Amino acid sequence: MTRRFLPALVLIALTRGATPASGQDALAQVRARGALRWGGDIQGGEPYAFQDPHDSARLLGFEVEIADALARRLGVRAEFVQNDWSTLIPSLERGDFDIILNGLEVTAARRERVAFTRPYYAFTETLVVRRDDVTLHSLNDLRGRRIGTLAASFAFELLRATPGVDFVLYEGVEEPYIDLEQGRLDAVVLDNIIADRYGLARPTLRAAGTVGDGTYAIAVRPSDTTLLQAIDAALGELMHSGELRRILTRWSLWNERQDHLAVAATAGGTRSAPGTLTLSQLVLFLRAAGFTVLISTLAMGLAVAGGLVLSIARRYGGAALRLAATTYVEVFRGTPVLLQLYVLYYGLAPVLTLNAFSAAVVGLGMNYAAYESELYRAGLQAVPIGQTEAALSLGMSRRLTLRRIVLPQALRVALPGIANDFIALLKDSSLVSVITVVELTKQMTITAVDVRSWVWPGLLCALLYLALSYPLSRLARRLERRLVPVPA
Amino acid sequence: MNDGAIVCVRGLRTHFGDVEVLRGIDLDVERGEVVAIVGPSGSGKTTLLRALNYLTPFSHGEVVIAGHRLHPGMNERAHAALLRRVRTRVGMVFQNFHLFPHLTAVGNITEAPRYVLGIDSAEADSRAMALLERVGLASHGHAYPHTLSGGQQQRVAIARALAMDPAVLLLDEPTSALDPRLVGEVLAVIADLAAGGQTMVIVTHEIGFARRVAHRIVVVDGGLIVESGAPDDVLERPRNAATRALLAMEEKTSPQRPRVAEKKGFSLPEAKR
C-alpha cells in the first residue's frame, strides 16, 4: 500500500513548494489541495482581515468572509497566508499563495504585474486634517505640506503624482493619525474605510474632502488564467446573489457606490511607472544613502558620548550611579532597538513630540550607547593601574588623570570595536524606516515597487551599503594593526 | 621634629588585611640628603616609600612631607586637594617606569607642568629639552616610549619627575626591571642628581651604588628599620644579621653585575659628547 502512495506523496510535497512556473494549472492545484490560499496582512486591521480579539486563532473581517464565500463556490476551503502588505505582489509571484485579497487597489502599474478580477469594493480617498485646520480641501492645497499615507498604496501614488507634496510613508494604519494629532503631519490621505475607522474616530480630526476614488479587486498571477476566470465568476455570483452586499452591510461598508460596481469597468491608475531605474530614481537612492550616513553619524556621535558617560559612571561612580548606569545598559541592550524606536516615537508622543529624524538619531544613539559603554569599560580596565599611579604622583587630579592619561589609552584599545559598531549601526539604521524616515533600505523597497523588480534596486542598495561600510572596515583593520603592538 | 627635615615619619604602621607590613617606622630625611633604603624582598621598603606620597595608605602614625601632614584614613576622593599639593612637590620614579605610552618623551615630561602647573607649552617644551639633555637623551624628544630601551625609558621617567622641580624625589627600585647592561646609564643619572644636591629617597638592591651615592643607608627588615647610618659604618661594620645577610648576597651576585659603583667616573652616553 505505502509503496504505491509514496510517489504520490513525494509529488505533492514537491508541487507544494514549487514555483508557479511549474506549468500545472493553478485551479487544478487549488482543487487538488482542497484549499484556496489567499494572502493578506492582518496588520491592516479591522475591517479587512484581523485577529478575533476573543479568539486569536480566528480571523474576522469582510475580506475573510469574501474569501470563505469564494472558496465555498470553488468547492474548497479558504486558507489565509500572512504577508507584509507592501510585499504582497512579490510573494504572489513567488507562489506563496494563490490570490491577493486585501484592499489591493487596482492601478495601471499593478495591472502590468498581476491580473485583477472584477472589483469587489469601490473606495474613495479621504483627506483627513486636524479639526481646527481650514486651509486644506483638495490635492492642490497639499503643496509644500507634510502628508502621511501607507507605503505602496493607491493614495501614495496619488500624492506622488501631485507636485510639491512632502509625503511620509507608514506601515500601519494607526500611526499616521497619531502623528497628525501630534502635529508631525498636516494631513493624511487614505482609503475611506481606514479614514473612517482609524482617523475620524479621533475627536481632534475631521474629514476635509474626497480627493480620489478607485476599487479593490482580487489579484491573481497573469499566467493562472483558469483560476482568474473561476474566481472572477465566483465573485460575479456573489454580487448577483446579493451575498457580497450582505457581507458589506454587516461591516457597515455598503453605500450607493457599490451599486455601480457590477457594471463599472475597473478604474485606471493615476500614472504608469517606468519599468527600469531612471536617473531621478538614482538620485533618490543617493539622497537616501546620504540620509543613512547622516543618521548613522549623528547617532554614533551620541552613542560615543553617552557610552563614555556610562562607562565612567560604572567604573568610577558611587553605588547609586553605578546601579543607574548598569540598569540603563541592561535595558537598552536587552530589548530590541525596533521596540525602543516605537516607544520613543509613538509611545512617548503624548509627553515628548520628537520629529522622525530626531527620534531616529536619539533612538539609535541611546541604544548604541549601551554597547559603546561596555567597549570603553573593557578599554578602561585594560589600562594598567601604574598609569594612574604615575599621573597621580605627578600631582594630577583624578579627573585630569582620566581625561589626559587613562581615557586616551582606553579609547585606543576600544577604537577597532568602535569602528565595527559604526558599521553595524550603518546597517541598523535601516530600522528607522518604521518611524517614517526614508533611508537607503526604505528607498530600495519603494523603488522596487515602482520598477516591479527587487533585483536592481536590491543590488544598488547593497552596493551603496558596501561603499559606505568597506572603507570603515579597512580603517578598523588598520587601527587594529597599528595599535596592538604598543605596550601600555 | 628636626628643623631641616623635609620628610619626617613617625610611628608608621601599615597592614594589608591581617598582615602587618610596616610595624612602626621613624625616619627623617634632611634637605639635600640622599637616603638609600635597602633590605630583603618583602621587608616593607617599597611600602614605606609609597606611604611617603600616600600612594599606599597607612593605618597608624604620620608623615610630614614638604610641609604637609599626612594621616591615616585619608582617601583619594575626600583629600584630593591635599594629596595633589603633596604630590606636586614630591616626585616619584617607578620600577617599571610607567611612562605614558600615548605621549612622546617630551609629551611625558611636559604633561604635569602644563596641565598641573599651567606652564605654557613653549616654555614647558624648552624645559623638557633641557631635562632630556641632562639625562643624556637630547635627541629622543619625539620618540614614543615603546621605541626606547628600558634604560632610556627610565631616564625619561626621571626627567618627567624632575620637571615638577620636586622637593623630594622618591625612587622605587629604579634599576630592578632593567637588563643588566642598561643599569649603569640609569645609576649614572641618579648619581649626577645626587651630586647636584637633589633630595632623594631611593629603594634599591644596588648596595655598591648605595654606598657610593647615599649619605645614609637605612636597612629595613620585617617592617622595621633595623640599622641606619653612614654607608661606611653600616656596610663595613654591620651590627644586624639582616644587614650581614644582605652584604653576603651582594658579594655572591656582584661579579655578574657591572661594578658601576666601583668605577670612578660615570659617563652619560650623549650629554658628554
User: Could you tell me what percentage of chain B is helix, strand and coil, using 3-state DSSP and rounding each to the nearest 5?
Assistant: 40, 25, 35
Determine how β-strand B5-16 pairs with β-strand B90-93: unpaired
| Cell digits of residue B248 | 653576603
pLDDT score recorded for residue B86: 96
- pLDDT value for B253: 63
Reported as a pLDDT band with limits 50, 70 and 90, residue A107 is confident
pLDDT at residue A449, as a whole number:
67
Q: What are the pLDDT digits (tens) for B40-74? A: 888 999 999 999 999 999 999 999 999 999 999 89
Domain extent for B161: 31-55+88-262
Residue-wise pLDDT for A324-366, tens only, equals: 999 999 999 999 999 999 888 888 877 887 888 899 999 999 9
Q: Which residues contact A120 (CB under 8 A, 6 or more apart)?
A: A66, A215, A216, A217, A218, A235, A238, A244, A261
Contact A387, A408 (CB under 8 A): no
Q: What integer pLDDT is reported at residue B257 of this predicted model?
A: 46
Q: Residue B98 and residue A389: Cβ atoms within 8 Å?
A: yes
Instruction: Write the CATH number for B105.
Output: 3.40.50.300
Tell the CATH topology of A279-483.
MetI-like fold (1.10.3720)
Please tell me whether the peptide bond between A47 and the residue prior to it is cis, using omega within 30 degrees of 0.
Answer: yes
SS3 B272: coil
pLDDT above 90 as % of chain A: 47
Fold of the domain spanning A2-120+216-260:
D-Maltodextrin-Binding Protein; domain 2 (3.40.190)
Residues A155-186 have pLDDT tens digits of 988 888 888 888 888 888 888 998 999 889 99
Which pLDDT score is estimated for A86? 79
Kindly report the nearest CA distance between residue B148 and chain A, in angstroms: 12
Q: If you average pLDDT over each of A18-32, A101-115, A392-406, which comes out highest?
A: A392-406
CA atoms within 13 A on the CB side of A48: 27
% of chain A surpassing 70 pLDDT: 89
Whether A271 shows a pLDDT value over 60: the answer reads: no
Q: Let me know if residue B132 belongs to a domain.
A: yes
Instruction: Give dist(CA B159, CA B187) in Å, integer.
Output: 14
- pLDDT the model gives residue A452: 65
By CA distance, what is B160's nearest residue in A? A394
pLDDT grade for A323, boundaries at 50, 70 and 90: very high
pLDDT band for B263, please (50, 70, 90 cuts): very low
Residue A387: list chain B partners with CB under 8 A: 98, 100
Q: Which residue has the higher pLDDT, A439 or B1?
A: A439
Query: The dihedral of CA A448, A451, A455, A456: what is its sign?
Result: negative
Write out pLDDT tens, residues B96-148.
999 999 999 999 999 999 999 999 999 999 999 999 999 999 999 999 999 99
Confidence (pLDDT) at A450: 67
pLDDT digits (tens, 9 = 90+) for A182-206: 889 999 999 999 999 889 989 999 9
d(CA A451, CA A109): 9
Quote the ipTM score.
0.91
Spatial separation of the C-alpha atoms in residues A192 and A30, rounded to whole Å: 33
The answer to whether position B24 is within a domain reads no
Among candidates B202, B203, B200, B164, which has minimal Cα distance to B84?
B164
Q: Does A393 contact B96 at a Cβ distance shorter than 8 Å?
A: no
Span(s) in chain A for CATH 1.10.3720.10: 279-483
Q: Are A401 and A391 in contact (CB under 8 A)?
A: yes
Compare CB distances from B112 to A384, A395, A409 and report the shortest one's residue. A395
Average pLDDT over residues A131-158: 89
Nine cell digits for residue A435: 518611524
| C-alpha cell at position A455 | 533585483
CATH architecture entry for A122-214: 3-Layer(aba) Sandwich (3.40)
Chain B residues whose beta carbon lies within 8 Å of the beta carbon of residue A487 = 101, 146
> What pLDDT is stored for residue B262 in this prediction?
42
Kindly state the average pLDDT of the residues A110-126. Answer: 91
The pLDDT score that the predictor gives to residue A2 is 43
Q: How many structural domains comprise chain B?
A: 1
**CB-count exposure of residue A224 (10 Å: 0-12, 13-18, 19+):** buried
Which grid cell sits at A4?
A: 504505491
A22: pLDDT strictly greater than 50: no
Indicate the residue of A387, A396, A398 with minimum beta-carbon distance to B112. Answer: A396
Domain with CATH 3.40.190.10 in chain A: 2-120+216-260, 122-214
B135: in domain: yes
B94 contact residues in A (CB cutoff 8 A): 386, 389-390
Looking at the complex, does the CB of residue B84 fall below 8 Å from at least one CB of chain A? yes
Query: Average pLDDT of chain A?
Result: 85
Where in B82-199 does DSSP place strands (E)?
90-93, 168-172
Q: Where are the beta strands (DSSP E) in A105-153?
A: 115-130, 146-150
So what's the pLDDT on residue B250? 75
Q: Does B56 touch chain A (CB under 8 A)?
A: no
Instruction: Record the cell numbers describing residue B31, joined without a space.
Output: 634637605
Note the pLDDT of residue B46.
94
Q: Answer whether A392 sits within 8 Å of B116, measured CB to CB.
A: no
Whole-Å CA distances, A98 to A50, A109, B6, B215: 19, 20, 95, 101
Q: Are A439 and A292 in contact (CB under 8 A)?
A: yes
The pLDDT mean for chain B works out to: 89
- Residue B2: inside a domain, yes or no? no
Q: Which residues of B touch A405 (CB under 8 A)?
A: 100, 111
Residue A274 in this model has a pLDDT that exceeds 60? no
In chain B, what residues touch A401 (CB-CB under 8 Å)?
Answer: none
